[in-house]
Amino acid sequence: MDLLDILLSATFWAAVIRIASPLIFATLGELICERAGVLNLGIEGIMVIGAFAGWMAVYLGTGLWVGVGVAMLAGMLFGLLHATLTVPFGLSQHVVGLGVTLLATATASFAYRLSLPEVTSPPKITPFQPWEIPVLSDIPLLGPALFSQTALTYLAFILVIVVSLILYRTPLGLALRAAGENPASVEAQGLSVTAIRMGAVIVGSGLMAIGGAFLTMSAFSSFFFEMVNGRGWICIALVVFGAWRPGKALLGALLFAGFDALQVRLQQTPMGAVVPYQVFLMVPYVLSILALILMSRRAEVPAALMVPFNKGER
């Protein structure tokens, strides 16, 4: 298999879309938080707790969509913690975010050990199955890649449009963006900066958790420690790459997923026999860093990102 064969295979493109899906959820979540002015470094841990909570709920007998709901709720809970500490209390967003990541990751491990003390390999659930969209899925190459995915993947792509519409076409989106640019403008127009920012962090954290749940409920069928494996940090980079815009962030997620899917396949080519596999593993990260450097030079950072707002401070 050479590069051209890979790029012309439907399974490659299907893999790109699949790998991108969790990144899309979590990137949108982070983007919402940052647009409101809060950097959420809890993302990595919130993805872990989402992966665990959704999978565990389904294992205990709920339906798949209920599992997604449970994952989202778990994420929102940690979002509430993050928001309470960073917004009304105005604590350092770096410290709180890393703390939330450690706490959420540890909580998932703890709950796992507590609920499954005797198990050596984690039990499997029946994950979301591919949902072939009639007619569209018959298109050659494009059909199997885009229209034979699971419902969660479709949801991810729909959410990109929904989040864009909310951000740019509704009063709520206007207030959210203003809170991240100049919270005083929100306050002076009679709105509550605290409510908007807390709401954004809680909802954004819910989306991050769904991104985690995608891993256990759609991509795989089981929960492993380390399965999130830095995807949260990648999403933070993707927000910057996307210049805080949902559409561009989607592009970034697809790009990263593309490199990731490519490197796995390149390992199986004759080249893979010579070059150590670690080099291939490195490829998506190196290329992402390069793309990030090129793309983020002219990005407009929300001006009040990481700046706490205290009403009535002088």
Partner 1 sequence: MVGREGAEVVLRLDGITKRFGPLVANNAISFDLKKGEVIALLGENGAGKTTLMNILFGHYTADEGAVEVFGQPLPPGHPRAALAAGVGMVHQHFTLADNMTVLENILLGTGSLLSNRLNARAAKAKVQKLSADFGLSVHPDAKVGTLSVGERQRVEILKALYRDARILILDEPTAVLTPQETTALFDTLRKAVALGLSIIFISHKLNEVMAISSRVLVLRHGKLVGEVATSDTDRHKLAEMMVGAEITAPKLAERAPGAALMTLSGIRTAPRGNAPGLAGVDLTLRAGQIIGLAGVSGNGQSALADLIGGLEVPTSGQMELHPARSGDWSPRAALAAGIARIPEDRHKTGTVADFSLTENAVLESYENAPYSRKGWMDWSAAEGFARKIIETYDVRCPGPGAAIRLLSGGNMQKLILGRALEAGPKIILANQPVRGLDIGAVTFVHNRLIAARDAGAAVLLISEDLDEVMALSDVIHVIYEGHLSPAFPRGSKTPAELGVWMAGQGFEGGADAA
Binding site for partner 1 (CB under 8 A): 169-172, 174-175, 177-178, 181-182, 184-191, 300, 302-303, 311-312, 314
Q: What is the Cα–Cα distance from 16 to 143, expressed in whole angstroms?
A: 14
Q: How far is the CB of 179 from partner 1 (least distance, A)?
A: 9
Q: Which is nearer to partner 1, 68 or 203 (CB)?
A: 203
Query: Helix 231-241 crosses helix 246-266 at what angle (to 10 degrees)?
Result: 130
Q: How far is the CB of 196 from partner 1 (least distance, A)?
A: 8
| Number of separate helices (H) and strands (E) present in the chain | 14, 0
306: left (phi over 0), alpha (psi -120 to 50) or beta: left
Q: Which is nearer to partner 1, 118 or 300 (CB)?
A: 300
301: amino acid identity, one letter = V
Q: Which is nearer to partner 1, 17 or 167 (CB)?
A: 167
Instruction: Identify the CA nearest to 47 among candidates 232, 191, 174.
Output: 232
Q: Which is nearer to partner 1, 185 or 221 (CB)?
A: 185
State the residue for tokens 């490199």.
Answer: 259
**Residues 261 and 19: beta-carbon distance below 8 Å:** yes
Q: How far is the CB of 40 from partner 1 (least distance, A)?
A: 20
Q: How far is the CB of 314 from partner 1 (least distance, A)?
A: 7
CA distances from 150 to 21, 34, 156, 217 (A): 10, 28, 10, 10
Q: How far is the CB of 169 from partner 1 (least distance, A)?
A: 6
Q: Which is nearer to partner 1, 132 or 187 (CB)?
A: 187
Q: How far is the CB of 56 from partner 1 (least distance, A)?
A: 33
Q: Which is nearer to partner 1, 91 or 243 (CB)?
A: 243
**Residues 33 and 238: beta-carbon distance below 8 Å:** no
Q: Which is nearer to partner 1, 12 or 309 (CB)?
A: 309
Q: What are phi and psi of 298, to 5 degrees?
A: -110, 15
Name the CA dihedral angle for 272, 275, 281, 286, rounded to a multiple of 10 degrees: -130
Burial class (CB in 10 A: 0-12, 13-18, 19+), 96: buried
Q: Which is nearer to partner 1, 156 or 178 (CB)?
A: 178
Q: How far is the CB of 311 from partner 1 (least distance, A)?
A: 7
Name the CA dihedral angle for 98, 101, 106, 109, rounded to a multiple of 10 degrees: -150
**∠ at Cα 130 (127, 135), nearest 5°?**
165
Q: How far is the CB of 301 from partner 1 (least distance, A)?
A: 10
